[in-house]
Amino acid sequence: MTRTTDLLYRVFRQIEIIGGVTERYTQDKLTGELTPSQWGVLNRLYFVGAQTLSELADAFCVSRPSMSQMIGRLNKQGLIEETQNERDARSKLIALSSSGCEEFETIKQSYETALAPLAAKFTPASLENLLSDLESLEVDLAREVVNSEDKQ
């Protein structure tokens, strides 16, 4: 094992730990019937834009039936809307509804207020670098997962 692979392993473990902590933190900020997983979907739709059910399932590494159930619950709450996918008539695009955007922005504001003391410990540049590195890692890891599944 090289130093780089050892460090990458430690990064993965740290991401897992942070994931558990942020899930508990998220639960405290959510209102109504939203779960942390549903919040994750709303977050992705807010920042990435409309996606198909398959794209969302792949992004969250869950089965399509599981994602379909979650989308059904979000739809029932009026937080998302589905439209016909012009690129593929067999699928629909899922996007935030106007009330979904409002709900997202309200919760996001609560987050930002609560994170302000922690944010003071970082510079914007250091957070931008961290975010860029994590986004690159996400893309590379997702590619590895897809390649691994294709080989099976």
The predicted structure's pLDDT at residue 110? 86
- Amino acid 28: pLDDT: 78
CB 127 within 8 A of CB 134: no
64 lies in some domain: yes
CATH of the domain at 15: 1.10.10.10
Residue 27 within any structural domain of the chain: yes
Number of structural domains found in the chain? 1
DSSP code of residue 35: -
Alpha helices in 49-86 (DSSP H): 53-59, 64-76
Question: If 0-12 CB within 10 Å is exposed, 13-18 middle and 19+ buried, where does residue 25 land?
Answer: middle
How many residues are listed for the chain in this entry?
A: 152
Per-residue pLDDT tens digits for 12-32: 899 999 888 888 888 777 767
User: Considering the domain boundaries, does residue 144 fall inside one?
Assistant: no
Note whether residue 70 is domain-resident: yes
| 41 token code pair | 């979907």
The model carries a pTM of 0.78
Boundaries of domain holding 78:
3-121
- Per-residue pLDDT reduced to its tens digit, 60-74: 889 999 999 999 999
Residue that wins the pLDDT comparison between 72 and 145:
72
